[in-house]
Amino acid sequence: MKFLYFILILLYSANAFCADGGDTIQLSLKDVVEMAKGNSIAAKQAITTRETKYWQWRNYKSNYQPQLSLNGNLPGYSKTDIQVLQPNGTILFQPVHNDNSELTLNFSQSITATGATIYGMTQLQRFDDFDRNTVLYNGVPYAIGFSQPLGQYNSLKWDKKIQPLLYNESKQAYIEAQEQIAITATGYFFDLLLAQVNLKISETNYANTQSILKIANTKFELGKVSKNEILQLQLELLNAKKAVGIAKRDKEIASLTLRSYISQEDDNHIALVVPETISNMSVSADKVLKEAYANRSDAIAFVRRVAEAKRDVAIARGQTGLTASLTANLGSANTASNILGVYKSPQNQQLLELTFSIPVLDWGRSKSKIKTAEANEQFTEYAVEQDEQTFKQQIVTQVTLFDQMKEQVGLTAEADSIAGEKYEIAKQRYVLGNLSITDLSIAFQENDQAKRDYVAALRDFWGAYYQLRYLSLYDFENNEKINYK
């Protein structure tokens, strides 16, 4: 019975809305949440962010796959005058008319463990000299090589540690964004619900005050009430009428805000259904903490932030001290007057090269870079430890608040029932003449406040419920992890 009064209020409101024109749609809290998750701008932004992170992940994965590319300069036609240095040091401008075309097929594969790169290529070049009617081919039938950085930062190795964490973090962040939408939608839902309840309360108070004033006027003519009491009721009537106008304004504002958020563009009136509490749901702090560490992006971020700090130390060490690179390749090359000649008895070509850099005197620059990175790593570890404590405390506090809000709903429902009964008795006593107008006004106010308190308690309960879902990414009604495709 504790919800009956509010259901009747909303049914009355629906009838009143229909009289204004347009259809009326009844929406529950879950209806509003689902509409917000499906239609709101925030939901579309979350989807776009998720897609962006997905393609960033695909780009990262491609770094570990073989790469094959075809490069060319076709045609390479040129007809111009160029300067030519003569043996005596002078310059003459000579006309040239040629086409220098080239095609190169490149292959490469990175090795994650060492940061090395294996590569290969084949190349064919044709040179046409139109002034002399000659054609010359040059080519590299094959070439394979190997490049190995020594003592340097291995980005492939560290990306393989960090990028999967970033991607998993983004997937959980998308679910969190959906649950944040639910929290926001819940707030707008109860803004409108309270506005509708306030409107019905003010309309009921206005009608009741009119009836009581008629009775009081009759008593005044019989000399049973004073003029001051009549004036007090007239003032109450004016205030009640003003309250109706304010309540209508607040309802329209709240309705517009909710419509805008859930992207409802039709002109149908919205009548909200008062939600009930979830009486059979029990939540423990240990369960919420377990699910939070398994599901939340923050839990993944704790690991990722420490890994990034360690990576920065590796970068500092890789950029200081001895750095070297070993390069080796083996292949063949040839020049001929036709294509087949390029591939006939080509000449071997080899390369072995070691390049290095050793700082001889840097006045402590290398050491300071490393020590700075190590200090930042230590600071990050402390910051993550502090954030983990806050993370745990927030969850424990929210579980406690949820239990309290669940209890508060029952207490405010009982208080509302008592206030309503007290209000009816006060009306009857006033009509019978054994209650003052002041006591009647107090009963009015207590009854109105009790109804508002009940809606506020429901708001706190459902807000705490969706906050728990957000903090754990777990559906405690159905006992399953929250997941969105």
Report pLDDT digits (tens) over 8-45: 344 344 343 333 445 788 999 999 999 999 999 999 99
Return the percentage of the chain with pLDDT > 90, whole number.
Answer: 56
DSSP per residue, 421-459? HHHHHHHHHHHHT-S-HHHHHHHHHHHHHHHHHHHHHHH
For residues 368-382, average pLDDT: 94
- Tell me the helices (H) and strands (E) count for the chain, helix number first: 10, 11
Check pLDDT > 90 for residue 3.
Answer: no
Q: Go through 125-156 and write b for each residue having 16 or more CB atoms within 10 A of its CB, e for each that does not.
A: bbbbeeeeeeeebbbbeebebebbbeebbbbb
- pLDDT score, position 362: 81
As a whole number of angstroms, the longest Cα–Cα distance in the chain is 136
**DSSP state, residue 132:** T
Q: Which of 196-200, 280-284, 329-333, 441-445 has the lowest mean pLDDT?
A: 441-445
Report pLDDT digits (tens) over 207-262: 888 888 888 888 788 777 788 888 888 898 898 899 899 999 999 999 999 999 99
pTM of the predicted protein model: 0.81
Report pLDDT digits (tens) over 63-110: 999 999 999 998 889 999 999 888 888 999 989 999 999 999 999 999
Please tell me the distance from the alpha carbon of residue 470 to that of residue 175, in angstroms, as a whole number: 8
Q: What is the mean pLDDT of the chain?
A: 87
Which secondary-structure segment (H or E) carries 118?
strand 116-129
- pLDDT score, position 12: 40
Report pLDDT digits (tens) over 302-345: 999 999 999 999 999 988 888 899 999 999 999 998 888 888 98
Please tell me the distance from the alpha carbon of residue 313 to that of residue 166, in angstroms, as a whole number: 19
Q: Which of 142-151, 183-192, 317-326 has the lowest mean pLDDT?
A: 317-326
Q: Go through 82-100 and write b for each residue having 16 or more CB atoms within 10 A of its CB, e for each that does not.
A: eeeeeeeeeeeeeeeebbb
- pLDDT score, position 22: 55
CA distances from 27 to 10, 24, 267, 420 (A): 11, 10, 15, 26
Domains of the chain: 46-59+159-188+205-237+276-307+375-481 (1.20.1600.10), 68-111+116-153+322-358 (no CATH)
pLDDT confidence bin for 437, thresholds 50/70/90:
low
Q: Which of 57-61, 204-208, 296-300, 389-393 has the lowest mean pLDDT?
A: 204-208
The residue type found at 67 is Q
Please tell me the distance from the alpha carbon of residue 387 to that of residue 304, in angstroms, as a whole number: 13
Cβ pair 365, 308 in contact under 8 A: no
pLDDT confidence bin for 279, thresholds 50/70/90:
low
Which secondary-structure segment (H or E) carries 348?
strand 347-357
- pLDDT score, position 223: 76
CA distances from 374 to 180, 319, 369 (A): 36, 14, 9
Please tell me the distance from the alpha carbon of residue 175 to that of residue 472, in angstroms, as a whole number: 11
Report pLDDT digits (tens) over 441-460: 777 778 888 888 888 899 99
Report pLDDT digits (tens) over 107-145: 999 999 999 999 999 999 999 999 889 999 999 999 999
Please tell me the distance from the alpha carbon of residue 188 to that of residue 201, in angstroms, as a whole number: 20
